[in-house]
Structure 1
């Protein structure tokens, strides 16, 4: 489909990039699975965390679309999915306005989570929004200086999973508007459970950066793939994948968990198939589907991991 055939509604869907929403939902799913196991599940904070994560993801997508276009990172040689700002489908100022409105909606929703989780959630929320803009915007765009991988690992993995667990535990164990982190609301298990989601979310970015390496090199976007080459990016992809599949063993060996925590291993054949493509291909027409497949891997892994973590004994 040429850009001339795309309607305004379709253009907004493209800008929102719904195919990236598994990266927003997966941390919430895993954090909730662990909360169920630990007896601190709270439905309303979990739902608010899910909606907030989706809004931050969409706002970040709008920011990337806008800032990459105005900074010249999206060119006619781009092999990735259509960008609405660079493609002239939506005016730059309109995309920028949508970005701010989406982040504002996430902050508005976050007021409830701040009531539940107090100051820690306020800090996390503001940092998440600021980082979503700073990923491709601001005076020092993170994605342009090789920090995108770290940003995704931290905010779409560690912060998102532990934050989801925390707001539910705080709703059950603590008074509203707490200042510090109440006891029992941020256990080590929540941090460990976040690692696979952080790793697989980052792998989505690695696929993206391998696909765009040549264009990024010409436009000054110094991703890790540009800085250190295809070999480094592929090694990073594999190491992160190994981390994701090693973590469930930690839970299997912990008291109170069962072998069900290893359910994500069922996705390993699919992960190996993606890895073979990553080790051999660089073309956009191959890596675009691979990008979507990695998103599906993340979603499937998250669901299986959450289910496995939720068991405190063998299901009958």
Structure 2
């Protein structure tokens, strides 16, 4: 029998697609604010981002095959391998799109793409496997945040933008927060399996404090962008604050009751992202 977490619909983690959507859209709108726009290129950027996100999600469980503490059925192992192969296909498709975008924008995007693909594969794959090294929360800030926003903007503007870099910071922090929520949700399972995520290494209490600190930094970052004029209407994100209350409350609950924290954080990220991208239009 296949464990529920390995079923395709769960392994795909569609609620996390908001990450690729919002991150890429932030880069696209950053370029738009500077006078650069191309509907075809923007569509390809979004497609590549969503494919990469799907690929990362589907290969995420592959490391479980090498965990001696996990007793996986034969059906679960087959499903993990199926998801993994499909995930590699998504990443390959994203790489094909990236090749076209490199051709029309510049070779700097090649560097971004290589780093991004290595980062996607290295999330749970050996010998990198930065998830079990406790580096995932830090690295996704750069790989799925700053790098993707800057890369999306670069495709359209054909140059690196200091403004886009600054604008990427609050969104990138929220990406790290979403991954941290995943670690907090799975704290007991990861501890039992010997998976040394950041949350396992520093303990649940400190990881919860980090979650709260990141949330505060996200909104302080928006305030800073509004004050320095990089994004005058950034404070529209305050409309999303009611949606961050639920995941903050879930932090204090026990294992069974806090399971919705990742979906709740993903929902708050989506609302935040919609507000954030709306602010970029003005």
Q: Normalization by structure 1: what TM-score?
A: 0.81
Q: 2:220 maps to which residue? A: 246
- 1:47 and 2:35 matched: no
**Do 1:24 and 1:53's aligned partners in 2 also have CA atoms closer than 8 Å?**
yes
Are residues 310 and 98 of structure 1, via their aligned partners in 2, closer, same or farther at CA, if it must alter by over 3 Å? Answer: same
- 1:72 and 2:53 matched: no
Correspondence list, 1:73-152, <5 A: 75=70, 88=76, 90-152=78-140
Correspondence list, 1:256-267, <5 A: 257-258=231-232, 260-267=233-240
Distance 1:268 1:22 in 2: 17
Distance 1:146 1:218 in 2: 16
Residues paired across the two proteins, number: 281
Q: 1:174 maps to which residue? A: none
Correspondence list, 1:152-163, <5 A: 152-163=140-151
What secondary structure is seen at the aligned counterpart in 1 of 2:37? coil
**How far off is 1:241 after superposition?**
0.9
Are residues 87 and 22 of structure 1, via their aligned partners in 2, closer, same or farther at CA, if it must alter by over 3 Å? Answer: farther
List alignment gaps of at least 5 residues for structure 2. none
Distance 2:73 2:90 in 1: 17
Q: Deviations over 1:243-289 (max 9, x none)?
A: 2101222232234753x2211111112213321222x1241x43332
Are residues 88 and 264 of structure 1, via their aligned partners in 2, closer, same or farther at CA, if it must alter by over 3 Å? Answer: same
Q: 2:247 maps to which residue? A: 274
Distance 2:131 2:35 in 1: 38
Distance 2:125 2:229 in 1: 45
Q: Deviations over 1:210-260 (max 9, x none)?
A: 1222221222211111111112211211121112101222232234753x2
Distance 1:207 1:110 in 2: 30
What is the root-mean-square deviation in Å for CA atoms of aligned residues? 2.4
Are residues 86 and 206 of structure 1, via their aligned partners in 2, closer, same or farther at CA, if it must alter by over 3 Å? Answer: farther
Distance 2:157 2:68 in 1: 42
**Do 1:73 and 1:221's aligned partners in 2 also have CA atoms closer than 8 Å?**
no
- 1:292 and 2:242 matched: no
Q: Normalization by structure 2: what TM-score?
A: 0.90
Distance 1:270 1:165 in 2: 28
Distance 2:221 2:279 in 1: 12
